[in-house]
Homo-oligomer: A and B are copies of this chain.
Amino acid sequence: MAPFTFPHQGSRGVLVYSGGMDSTTLLHECKDRIALCVSFNYGSKHNERELVYAQDNCRSLGMRHQTVALPFVNELFRSNLLMSGGAIPEGDYSKKNLKSTIVPFRNGIMLSIAAGLAESNGLSFIMMANHKSDHEGYPDCRPTFVEAMHLAIFEGSGRLVSLLAPYTNLDKREIALRARSLGVDLSRSWSCYKGGELHCGICSTCLERKRSLEGFDTTSYSS
């Protein structure tokens, strides 16, 4: 099991919740400690698809949920993940494929806003579901980033808010297994970067999702 070290007994926090399979698993795993889920609409091609699941899962669990719009990301940032960017590459995560889907410092932005929300609401931590399978391609998922960002949030909030990232050293398969043991219905989560009606099955994140769910009931995969 991933280590869960909450700041203090009974402390509650904010989950950065995309509606993808990793944060959906973390939501179910820590629902008793989460006082608020926050999702961000930053203009990615798949935001509208994943946000439906984020809202829906929060409603089912009776969780408070807030969507924050960040239109400036789509307007001013460069990434093929965004509506304003080029086509989503197909095939496995190769270095080149991946690079074009980086949204510069996205996790830093989302965590900073979540930290401000936590402090405003008297909550003592924020959580995100970054994981090991993303370390190579996405610098803002790596332990070095997470550790520094925790310290920045902790010090910058006057030592009121901590960052917890309990899946940092788990890979996506381990998260999927965790979801299964918790009874999480992963068909109610979204991964595909293309954001079409159904998961495309051929973009890098679809291939990764499929691999992580090998041997699972096939209804888990698509939605």
Interface residues of A (CB under 8 A from B): 66, 68-69, 72-73, 76-79, 103-109, 111-113, 115-121, 139-140, 142, 144-145, 148-149, 151-159, 161
Q: Which residues on the B side are within 8 Å of A145 (C-beta)?
A: 152, 155-156
Known: A104-B118, A105-B156, A111-B112. 18 other contacts (CB 8 A): A66-B76, A68-B72, A76-B117, A104-B117, A105-B153, A105-B161, A107-B156, A108-B116, A108-B153, A112-B112, A139-B156, A139-B157, A142-B155, A145-B155, A145-B156, A148-B151, A151-B151, A151-B152
CB-CB under 8 A from A154, the residues of chain B are 148
Chain B residues, Cβ within 8 Å of A66:
76
The residue in chain B whose Cβ has the minimal distance to the Cβ of A140 is: B156
Of chain B, the residue at the smallest CB distance from A68 is: B72
Chain B nearest CB, measured from A151 CB (Å): 4
A interface SS class:
helix
Residues of chain B lying within 8 A (CB to CB) of residue A69: 72
A-B CB proximity, top 6 nearest: A104-B119, A148-B151, A140-B156, A148-B152, A139-B158, A105-B116
Residues of B within 8 A of A152 (CB): 108, 145, 148-149, 151-152
Q: Which residues of B contact A149 (CB under 8 A)?
A: 148, 152, 156
Query: How far, in whole Å, are A161 and B109 apart by their CA atoms in the complex?
Result: 14
**What is the CB-to-nearest-CB distance from A163 to chain B, in angstroms, rounded to a whole number?**
10
A147 to B161 alpha-carbon distance, docked (Å):
17
Q: Which residue of B lies closest to A109 (CB)?
A: B112
- Indicate if the CB atoms of A157 and B112 lie closer than 8 Å: no
A66 to B77, CA, bound (A): 13
A116 touches B103 (CB 8 A): yes
How far in angstroms is the closest Cβ of chain B from A206?
A: 24
Enumerate chain B residues within 8 angstroms of A118, measured Cβ to Cβ. Answer: 104
Q: List 25 A-B contacts (CB under 8 A).
A: A66-B76, A77-B120, A78-B120, A78-B121, A103-B116, A104-B118, A104-B119, A104-B157, A105-B113, A105-B119, A105-B153, A105-B156, A105-B161, A107-B156, A108-B112, A108-B152, A108-B153, A109-B109, A139-B155, A139-B156, A145-B156, A148-B149, A148-B152, A148-B154, A151-B152
